[in-house]
Structure 1
Amino acid sequence: MTSNTNSSHQGPQHPPAPVSDIESIGGYFHTNRIEIQDFRYYALVVDLRPRIDFERDHLPGAFHYVPGDPDDSSGGARLAQEAAPRSYMPDPLGTLLARVRPGQRVLLYCTSGEPTARNLAAALRLQNLGVDVLPGGWDSYRQWVRAGLELLPRLVSWRVLASPLGCETSRVLDSMGAHETHQTLDLQRMAGWTAGSRQAAGTQPSQEAFETAIIDRLRDFSAERPVWTSFVPRQLGALELPPALGDAIAVSPLYRLDVPLPERLRHWRHSDAEDAGEPASGQDVADEMLAATLLGELAPDLEAQVSAVGISRRELPVLAFDSFEPAALSAAIRAWLGEEDDADDEDGEDRADEGEDEDGESSRPA
């Protein structure tokens, strides 16, 4: 999300077509519930709250501007009274408004609907700008986010990858996400937290920003295809998983990763070194201490987390691969998912029965 006025954010040339229910689950939970268009409809979204609040979280794509701050010598009251032409409005507001083309709209919001947004909107409308004000301001948006996080996780089918090492599931999700047919949600990366890492959680977003990022992704997902994520605890460092999302993950089909120990340790060491900003160690990847840590602490910890859910979940075929190298991992995922690897096959036949066992039941991931 954009956090300053120097961003390269560009508004759409034309308002996008409405998102349909078929295209994404965002159609089931639209921003019209808070009486505004979809965030991407607006050429410019302006947050008028104090900067400390903006930095904690803000609407997707929003820019920060406070009338009367040190960068605005005119003050919001005079701006509303004089309705200065856009080209003469104080920077950074004038710079932001230069992005808005005829026919495009601007969205303004304050903390809870105070006059600041309404006064600025009145001034901008006198300059023939189309301006919307978020009713109830930020408080209204946060209520919308909380309601959405209760509803949207229930509208998709989840597939959960389980490994004692979060860096492994993140790499698999990256590989899946490179293909447009796969929907992925890497909650660990979004939370700035990695399961099984020897490094303490780094800089994490605020709880509000974490929730905004989640709902922003959820609304783009299609209900027609599963969403892949990793098995995570409900507490990720300083952040909490939204309850409905945690419940959905807890009861969804679970897939485990099977990787040779030397490759697992090599990747673990490399990922931890990256997180610490250090070069990877040249130590033997089969080091007994690392192996003992991996097998003696992390794996049982994952088992304890899975068992602690207290719900019988369906476990599905293991994803086995020999290397985290992108090409090898991508090939293993394609084979595991039963995808066609022949680009010349044009008949699009359904090969679901290729994975059937002797009883006629598919062994392929759902």
Structure 2
Amino acid sequence: MTQLLPITDFWQAPGPILDVRSPGEYAQGHLPNAVSFPLFSDQERALVGTCYKQRGQETAIELGLELVGPKMATLVKKAKVLAPERQVRLHCWRGGMRSGSVGWLLETSGLDVNLLAGGYKAFRRWVRATLALPRSIIVVGGMTGTGKTDILHALRQLGEQVLDLEGLANHRGSSYGALMLPPQPSTEQYENLIAEQWIGFDPNRPVWIEAESKRVGICCVPREIMDQMEASNTLEVLRSKSERLDLLVDVYGRANPDELVAATERLHKRLGGLQTQEAIEHIKRGELVAAAAIILTYYDRTYRHDLTRRGKQIPTVDVSDMSVLKSAQYLRCQVSEWGWYNS
């Protein structure tokens, strides 16, 4: 028998999550790990919506049945492939006709079905409430090339709670941030991914987060998280400039040179025409350390300006000549001495 479950129970229910909204709705944002299982295509959804507005609900339902009828067998076959254990979770936008109809079809075909009460709309309300949950945060700042992201990953391996805002955004947070990474999610989906991790963090232990601006590429960091970060303990990682240059070349040296040039050209107004051209010439000659040294002048200047603007005294941790793992262990030791684990 089909059950209607609130989001907390829906998460725990067995079976894959099938999102029966249109592909366009799914692309805009969806439950993490949900599979697109559209009842209507984007065009069909638009037709039904127009029919509803112009001719009323009854006629729109009849049109919907005409569109769905030929697909019913295919939907059942696809669901059985996705759910070999014959258990599925379904949702649409508001938990209404689309999920109810598909739920009836799959249940009639021998599957156990759980529906999300309130649909994706209810899930988005849950996301907003989850992002507002208070957590103890340690913010890790530092100039470009200090290896902050790698240190966070090492902290996670050491058992610390880490929220990787750049990893979830598929972006490293600079003009070069998208190179060699998959496409970014929408901001809505970014929030969904963050909320999924945020709810799982132990509120009695700190969450380590890299310092970010309000945007990571095209993704906006949720205001609820940003507000907590700005009020949290922050440290600055220091590393020698030569190490920073080596780290940057190690990361971006594998990128397509043409893409490196394009990313550098985007800095033209901020870096200056002469320095931009010099950096580009170095890239074309394969002199990436020299190019990175020029580009760092802009990022270092921007970082210092931001620190001055905030007017906040931040303790520093020098990890020069340390491996990533040693750096993570040293940071953990330092914040423990400062009493940040109990703040």
TM-score exceeds 0.5: yes
Residue of structure 2 aligned with 1:283, choices 277, 280, 287: 287
Paired residue for 1:186? 164
Alignment of 1:228-247 (within 5 A): 228-247=208-227
Residue identity in the other structure for 1:303: R
Return 5+ residue gaps in structure 1 as ranges.
Answer: 1-30, 340-351, 356-361
Alignment of 1:167-206 (within 5 A): 168-179=147-158, 181-198=159-176, 203-206=183-186
1:158 and 1:227 in contact (8 A); partners too: yes
State the 1:301 CA deviation.
1.3
State the 1:216 CA deviation.
0.8
- When residues 365 and 111 of structure 1 are mapped into structure 2, their CA distance, relative to the original with a 3 A threshold, is closer
Question: Matched residues in 1 for 2:174 and 2:23: separation?
Answer: 35
Instruction: Render the CA deviation track for 1:326-361: whole Å, top value 9, x for unaligned.
Output: xx221232244239xxxxxxxxxxxx9xx8xxxxxx
State the 1:308 CA deviation.
4.2
Paired residue for 2:303? 302
State the 1:276 CA deviation.
4.6
Residue of structure 2 aligned with 1:157, choices 114, 136, 146: 136
Instruction: Render the CA deviation track for 1:300-338: whole Å, top value 9, x for unaligned.
Output: 31233344456x46x334142315xxxx22123224423
State the 1:190 CA deviation.
1.6
When you count helix as a share of all residues, which structure comes out higher?
2
Does residue 220 (structure 1) correspond to residue 200 (structure 2)? The answer is: yes
State the 1:212 CA deviation.
0.8
Return 5+ residue gaps in structure 2 as ranges.
Answer: 42-65, 261-282
Paired residue for 1:20? none
Instruction: Render the CA deviation track for 1:224-281: whole Å, top value 9, x for unaligned.
Output: 2111111100122222111111111112111111212111101112212345588998
Paired residue for 1:138? 120
- When residues 78 and 143 of structure 1 are mapped into structure 2, their CA distance, relative to the original with a 3 A threshold, is same
- Output the TM-score relative to the length of structure 1: 0.68
1:188 and 1:194 in contact (8 A); partners too: yes
1:182 and 1:227 in contact (8 A); partners too: yes
The secondary structure found in structure 1 opposite 2:18 is: strand
Paired residue for 2:106? 124
Paired residue for 2:78? 92
Residue identity in the other structure for 1:220: G
- When residues 124 and 166 of structure 1 are mapped into structure 2, their CA distance, relative to the original with a 3 A threshold, is farther
Instruction: Render the CA deviation track for 1:63-90: whole Å, top value 9, x for unaligned.
Output: 1223466xxxx9745888xxx8xxx964
- Output the TM-score relative to the length of structure 2: 0.72
Question: Matched residues in 1 for 2:187 and 2:217: separation?
Answer: 11
| % same residue | 22
Question: Matched residues in 2 for 1:68 and 1:196: separation?
Answer: 38
Q: What's the RMSD between the two structures over aligned residues?
A: 3.5
Question: Matched residues in 1 for 2:315 and 2:215: separation?
Answer: 25
The secondary structure found in structure 2 opposite 1:194 is: coil
1:256 and 1:318 in contact (8 A); partners too: yes
State the 1:37 CA deviation.
1.3
Residue identity in the other structure for 2:98: T
Question: Matched residues in 1 for 2:142 and 2:27: separation?
Answer: 33
Question: Matched residues in 2 for 1:128 and 1:284: separation?
Answer: 61
1:165 and 1:298 in contact (8 A); partners too: yes
Greater RCO (CA < 8 Å, at least 6 residues apart): 2
Does residue 109 (structure 1) correspond to residue 91 (structure 2)? The answer is: yes
Residue identity in the other structure for 2:143: P
Paired residue for 1:255? 235
Figure out how many residues of one structure are paired with residues of the other and give that number: 289
- When residues 165 and 115 of structure 1 are mapped into structure 2, their CA distance, relative to the original with a 3 A threshold, is same
Residue identity in the other structure for 2:321: D
Question: Matched residues in 1 for 2:190 and 2:228: separation?
Answer: 18
2:146 and 2:244 in contact (8 A); partners too: no
Does residue 333 (structure 1) correspond to residue 342 (structure 2)? The answer is: no
State the 1:365 CA deviation.
5.8
Residue identity in the other structure for 1:96: L
2:22 and 2:39 in contact (8 A); partners too: no
